[in-house]
Amino acid sequence: MSHDATCIFCKIVEGKIPAKKVYEDEDILAFHDINPWAPVHILIIPKRHITSMVDVGPAEQALLGKMMAVSPRLMLELGVTNGYRHLINTGADGRQEVMHLHLHVMGGPRPWLKG
């Protein structure tokens, strides 16, 4: 597994910094966002360091499919029954802050802080 020693999400994958995990398998990890915009706000990430969508191609098709496909189950398990929003920020103009690919999934009753 390729990890970037300076990457905060790689450190979460490696267990070097804590996170409130909601799902994990050999390829992906899901955990609660530390600064939630919505009552439920999780991040789903590949365990392998992928910087952003810029580095995604056909080889990542199954991985990204897995990240998307697990999300309905996780939101249901977290009690979200009235809809949610998926978001991926890419690069500077996309306002990506953490340079390890992550899928935001946000839900729960409105109003939300953002989004």
Distance of closest approach, residue 102 Cβ to ligand AMP, in angstroms = 6
- Binding partner selected for residue 93 from ligand AMP, Zn ion, none, CB under the kind-specific 5 to 8 Å limit: none
Which of 59, 95, 111, 114 touches ligand AMP by CB under 6 A?
95
Smallest distance, Å, CB 47 to ligand AMP?
15
Residues whose CB is less than 8 angstroms from the CB of residue 80 and which lie 6 or more positions away in sequence, other chains included: 40, 107, 108
Each residue 34-63 as x (binds ligand AMP by CB under 6 A) or -, in order, gives xx-------x--------------------
Residue 102 a catalytic site member = yes
Q: Under the criterion CB under 6 A, does residue 89 sit at the interface with ligand AMP?
A: yes
In the set 41, 49, 100, 102, the catalytic residue is 102
Residues annotated catalytic, as ranges: 102
